[in-house]
A = this chain, B = another copy of it.
């Protein structure tokens, strides 16, 4: 795999080198951006994360896996339609819906296939395992609506404006084999084997109708329920996240309302970005530099200069010399709603680890040509990516000090329709519109 960073924009590299050097010595001078007023809807809360064995409901107003507390394991898979037959697409969605309704509600005592003359209806790998809070979340990519100018399924005119293609962001090193997809399926559970089982079931149902495009599994661990998980960089990840039990904020920022097409109301748009992290590099940075890069203390998760994780992120705070405590290009500052006209997204950040990868060229120039193929399987849900992820990341992709350590290697955007009622299939309203 050749994924070296040799075509990084020199200007970006210079900027980052300068910014990093400045930050490592003394926080850079505050700017208008840094002094922006705090937004009233800022939410100093965290995504609840639980580990459990029980079943999550499948049918409902929203799809599972969005407002559901973070799972310990996830498995994302994107598909491209190999069939151009609308009825086959509908048949697949019906089959996926039925399978998801079944497997999310199965338990350790669910009966197994016993007919020796028939192909078992699933792998059986979860026989005896607990439901483990399994959720399965489906999405529709832009190419499902129109691909190479072709309206294969008669839904081009129903494509929501919000399902815009993501722009190319500065620093993007996207690997085509980790991008896009007509359809997305994500199985999340508190047991890795249950998640694998579920995604296999979905891939099997797609056989002959849709091909696997790409896939990525991930994990997320906490010791105590509702704790903010740490990512592989060792920092708490999601301190400022939307609280999924805050219905008003969820409605304002996550769920599609009547501004969207009828078939998407109560749904949400998902952006997924596998982000490789140069962990070998990061692990050799001094604690103080790591903290200035993130804008928070590593152990407590508190904003720089504060003590507790949920203490206010005060972007105006300065040290005795008048320099901002949270650096101008610190990740926490740039991600804060106050820096983004109040924009918020519901983050779902899983760590991923594919072992190691070989790079044709070495960047940064360590002596090892073999590096971790691991990082963050970043995902976020929002009411409109144009005012959510894209709005926030346009600035972050240029200025965030974390960019020295991170590379976006994949990308996708999907319209995740509302949940189904019993007897309906996921996305039904799109095809009866």
Contacts and interface: CB of A to CB of B under 8 A. Distances in A.
B196 A120 contact: no
A125 B232 contact: yes
A130 to B, nearest CB: 5
Contacts of A354: 354-355
B370 A288 contact: no
Given A123-B232, A214-B355, A215-B355, A72 B192 contact: yes
Contacts of A203: 280, 372
A165 B98 CA distance: 50
> How many copies, total?
2
A105 B31 CA distance: 46
B200 A232 contact: yes
Contact of A212 (B73, B191, B212, B370): B370
Contacts of A216: 355
A298 interface: yes
Contacts of A125: 230-234, 351
A129 to B, nearest CB: 5
A238 B125 CA distance: 14
Contacts of A232: 123, 125, 193, 196-197, 200
Contacts of A258: none
A428 to B, nearest CB: 27
A290 interface: yes
A223 B108 contact: yes
Contact of A119 (B200, B286, B291): B286
Interface stretch (A110-118, A319-327, A417-425): A110-118
A151 interface: no
Interface in A2-17: none
A73 B73 CA distance: 11
Contacts of A282: 123
Interface string A212-247: 111111011111100100111111000000000000
Contacts of A219: 192-193, 196
Given A112-B298, A219-B193, A118 B287 contact: yes
A87 interface: no
A356 B214 contact: yes
Contact of A234 (B120, B370, B371): B120
A283 interface: yes
Nearest to A356: B215
A127 B299 CA distance: 8
A114 B291 contact: no
Given A117-B288, A230-B124, A283 B368 contact: no
Interface in A27-47: none
A184 to B, nearest CB: 14
A207 interface: yes
A204 B119 contact: no
Nearest to A114: B299
Contacts of A355: 214-217, 354
**Closest 5 A/B residue pairs (Cβ):** A124-B234, A116-B288, A193-B221, A215-B355, A192-B219
7 contacts: A108-B223, A117-B286, A124-B298, A127-B230, A127-B299, A192-B192, A193-B219
Given A119-B287, A122-B283, A191-B221, 18 more contacts: A75-B353, A112-B298, A114-B299, A117-B287, A119-B286, A123-B232, A124-B230, A125-B233, A126-B230, A127-B299, A193-B220, A193-B221, A194-B221, A200-B232, A200-B372, A211-B367, A212-B356, A216-B355
Interface of A: 72-73, 75, 77, 82, 108, 112-120, 122-130, 177, 191-194, 196-197, 200, 203-204, 207-208, 211-217, 219-224, 227, 230-235, 279-280, 282-288, 290-291, 298-299, 351, 353-356, 358, 367-372, 374
